[in-house]
Amino acid sequence: MIRTGLVLDRDFVVGPLDRRVFGVFVEHLGRCVYTGIYEPGHPSADEDGFRGDVLALTRELGASIVRYPGGNFLSGYDWEDGVGPREQRPTRLDLAWHSTETNAFGTNEFIAWCRAAGVEPMLAVNLGTRGADAARRLVEYCNHPGGTTLSELRRQHGQPKPHGVRAWCLGNEMDAPWQIGQKDAGEYGRLARDTARLMRRVSPDLQLTACGSSNRELPTFGRWEYEVLQECFDEVDLLSVHAYFENPHGDTWEFLGNIDRMDLHIKEVAAIADAVAARRHSHKRMKLAVDEWNIWYKARAGEHAYQPDWPRAPRLIEEVYNFEDALAAGGALCVLMNNADRVQVACLAQLVNAIGAIRTEPGGPAWRQTIFHPFALAARHARGVVLRTAIQSPARSGRMHPEMPYLVASATHDEASGRTAIFALNRHLAEPQELTVQLRGFGPLCELVEAQELFHTDMQAANTRDAPDTVAPRPQREARVAEGQLRVRLQPGSWNVFVLQHRGRPAP
């Protein structure tokens, strides 16, 4: 039995939790859109062709914001192709994913889907094959009330009210050698600056995200962020971070080291942004958008990534997530919350089918992948502010990170409801943890109102069409609250959630 400790104090806060850290990503990639969120003729489809089962699961997931339409697809996309009467929309070659794009689903359909799902839209503009003028045209089409050619065009397309999209991404992974229209840092930084200025002349209250390096392992990482921000620091609000977990050694312990690496990655990018601020004598602290993160290593190459003959909606990068993937996702969510002072937006990439939290079959069912569950639990219970976590835990070294504590944890406190939520991963795969959480400054009276654990004896267990609930949360029955402490026994290799209701607290 490992003994670990966690100290929480109501007055020691990382920062307010931005609910947009529970965002997701929808790209025109494989079956994410077609037979994913959009499938006219499906038994659950509504009059707009949106799959009702996927909409219901999206609401259950707790997604708050959705980034669209890409991704690599974005850098070759003309937004005008996806608006207007469907019978007049062109069919194009998607050069990013070697597919055929019908454009049956575009900007207005996406906005309508967001409204049906109850999520905020986050649109991205093409800075690969296009530039600042196409971006400002899209902003005018979406956000201007009327009386101009582009706003009236939107109205002719059946959208009388402006979409009011506030969150925008300035391109995608523009440093990447695989990206259509790849640019060097100075070139992209100036383009992002000019695009941001032009977009804000149309709609001043936009929140704009510039591209950080698309991969921490690229030789341009670090220098890219610094040089980009040197050009556009004053014009953008957030800098993107992309983090995909891999398992090159086939070792669960090493795989879970991605959690620590992600935390380091976020802190490195924040430090680089602060270096730019210091050089400029600026008090501004750049916020971060981790607008692509997930586990992705099993379905990366061959037919998973590309298929011949330009197919429509092929089965691309359809990762089947197992239990160890769910543990990694739970740890990543702790990292995102623990960096609440810098991370304002995060998007699980992606929502459906293509490395998706949800899987579907054309004409058939939809089901939750294993990574769905920690996301849904965190999105449901995390509210208010993120508390600083003082962790007392033995650690072990790994190739991914030199020191990996067995306990990974995060906690939030919501003054309005009086609830504290604690999220805890036991990263030891063979021994349980005896965890003691000290609750300081919350008052003498509190009760445990919910306790859930995600646990399975087989790290390779997965949810499938025929067995969709193989991995699912269940009540955690080893937790007790007494004398200002939560004491709990965590199963080896488990992710857990504890929700406390405070009934009294001392006056401030």
Shared-domain flag, residues 342 and 418: no
Shared-domain flag, residues 278 and 334: yes
Last residue of a domain, one of 381, 396, 429: 381
* Total H helices, total E strands in the chain: 10, 26
Shared-domain flag, residues 134 and 275: yes
In a domain, 224, yes or no: yes
Last residue of a domain, one of 362, 381, 400: 381
Residue 503 in contact with residue 484, Cβ under 8 Å?
A: no
Can you tell me the distance from the alpha carbon of 173 to that of 183, in angstroms, rounded to the nearest whole number?
Answer: 9
Shared-domain flag, residues 167 and 273: yes
Q: What's 257's domain CATH number?
A: 3.20.20.80
Shared-domain flag, residues 409 and 334: no
Confidence band for 446, pLDDT divided at 50, 70 and 90: confident
Which residues constitute the domain of residue 391? 2-10+386-502
Confidence band for 504, pLDDT divided at 50, 70 and 90: low
**DSSP E strand stretches across 296-445:** 343-349, 358-360, 366-368, 385-387, 390-392, 395-396, 404-405, 407-414, 419-426, 433-440
Instruction: Please state the φ and ψ torsions of residue 330, each to the nearest 5 degrees.
Output: -60, -40
pLDDT number for residue 319: 97
The model's pLDDT over 280-339, given as tens digits with 9 standing for 90+, comes to 999 999 999 999 999 999 999 899 999 999 999 999 999 999 999 999 999 999 999 999
Shared-domain flag, residues 164 and 192: yes
In a domain, 508, yes or no: no
Q: Which residue has the tokens 């109850």?
A: 118
Catalytic residue annotation: 173, 292
Shared-domain flag, residues 340 and 414: no
Last residue of a domain, one of 355, 381, 407: 381
Mean pLDDT of the chain: 96
CA atoms within 13 A on the CB side of 262: 30
Shared-domain flag, residues 273 and 299: yes
Residue 174's nearest CA partner among 228, 219, 226 is: 228
Confidence band for 400, pLDDT divided at 50, 70 and 90: confident
* Averaged pLDDT for residues 55-72: 98
In a domain, 171, yes or no: yes
Whether pLDDT at 508 is above 90: no
In a domain, 368, yes or no: yes
Q: Which of 196-200, 455-459, 479-483 has the lowest mean pLDDT?
A: 479-483
